[in-house]
Amino acid sequence: MEQLQALIFDVDGTLADTERDGHRVAFNKAFVDAGLDWDWTIEIYADLLTVTGGKERIKYFLKHHLPDFRPEGELETFVADLHAAKTEHYKALMVDPGLPLRPGVERLLREAREAGVRLAIATTTTPANVTALLRNSLAEDAEDWFEVIAAGDIVPAKKPAPDIFVWTLEQLNLPPESCMAIEDSDNGVKSVSGSGIRSLLVTVNDYTRNQDFSDATMVVDHLGSKEQPCKVLTGPDLSNDQVDLHAFRGIHRYAWE
Ligand code: XBP
Ligand code: MG
């Protein structure tokens, strides 16, 4: 079994709970700007989240919720312009009111850096969104903490396809056996599994807690902190109430036993 050399983090739902009060709100602001009376409620968004990628999600919404809608001009251009406006709103929301990282995320990232464990990001979201979240919720130089930031359209197929994790492994020049992924959704778990990575920790959230995580090594509610002890939902018991680097190494061994 290879030693754990790198942690590969998903972003949305994993580093921070960005969907309900971040992306969803940004989409609705872009719809208002465009004079569209579309309202992605918390409930509708749960269905739309089954599709990864904002542009793909808009097209899914049109197909399944507004099949008779016809934009002026080309659909691709309409969707791309709407999505670009949404990204600007998302970036602004990351500044004001801002969004905290999930419990234990900053603690773990700092612990990994101090221990020389390499860090990477593999996400479906737009690169500018990652920059906005890291700079405003972690540290001004936080992008430099990650050797690889694999995001958005950099690969032909988004999650659940394995492309983004395969690309990240190639950039790290590491085999799947040396890496561990941290995800929040079933689409993310499928993407990780398809890439050959077997040690996988899932931190659930309100949109994903009832999804299928049978391929995950361990499922917790979050990584935990002194103030907010974490709860193991499936997988090996933890010696304390936080998922720390020692626990990550244990989960990695457990996955390859
Ligand atoms: C989550 C996604 C993204 C975001 C929206 O990404 O599927 O599409 O919902 O961001 P992950 P964009 O969980 O892989 O971080 O509008 O920029 O796609
Ligand atoms: Mg996610």
CATH fold of 19-95: DNA polymerase; domain 1 (1.10.150)
pLDDT of 118 reads 98
CATH fold of 6-17+101-255: Rossmann fold (3.40.50)
With H, G, I as helix, E, B as strand and everything else as coil, classify residue 34: coil
Ligand nearest to the CA of residue 22, numbered in listed order: 1
pLDDT of 217 reads 97
Q: Which atom of ligand 1 lies nearest, measured to the CA of 128?
A: 17
* Top mutation candidate among 52, 159, 165, 185 for ligand 1, by most atoms within 8 Å of CB: 52
Ordered DSSP codes for 222-249: ----SSS---EEESSPPSSSS--HHHHH
Q: Which atom of ligand 1 lies nearest, measured to the CA of 126?
A: 17
Neighbours of 56 (CB within 10 A): 15
pLDDT in tens, the chain (257 residues): 789 999 999 999 999 999 999 999 999 999 999 999 999 999 999 999 999 999 999 999 999 999 999 999 999 999 999 999 999 999 999 999 999 999 999 999 999 999 999 999 999 999 999 999 999 999 999 999 999 999 999 999 999 999 999 999 999 999 999 999 999 999 999 999 999 999 999 999 999 999 999 999 999 999 999 999 999 999 988 888 999 999 999 999 999 88
Q: What angle (nearest 5°) sits at the alpha carbon of residue 206, between those of residues 240 and 232?
A: 20
Ligand nearest to the CA of residue 185, numbered in listed order: 2
pLDDT of 171 reads 98
* Top mutation candidate among 57, 60, 207 for ligand 1, by most atoms within 8 Å of CB: 57
Q: Which atom of ligand 1 lies nearest, measured to the CA of 10?
A: 15
Nearest CA to ligand 1 atom 10: 125
Residues carrying an active site annotation? 10, 12
| CA 204 to centroid of ligand 2, rounded, Å | 9
pLDDT of 239 reads 84
- The pTM (predicted TM-score) of the whole model is 0.97
* Top mutation candidate among 11, 23, 121, 208 for ligand 1, by most atoms within 8 Å of CB: 23
| CA 154 to centroid of ligand 2, rounded, Å | 17
| CA 223 to centroid of ligand 1, rounded, Å | 21
The single-letter code of the amino acid at 252 is H
Name the segment(s) of the chain with CATH classification 3.40.50.1000: 6-17+101-255
| CA 70 to centroid of ligand 2, rounded, Å | 30
pLDDT of 2 reads 84
Ordered DSSP codes for 156-186: SS-TTSSHHHHHHHHHHT--GGGEEEEESSH
CA-to-CA separations, 152 to 55, 80, 104, in angstroms, rounded? 10, 13, 25
Nearest CA to ligand 1 atom 3: 125
User: Which residues sit with their C-beta closer than 6 Å to ligand 1?
Assistant: 10-13, 19, 23, 52-54, 123-126, 129, 159, 185, 188
pLDDT of 222 reads 98
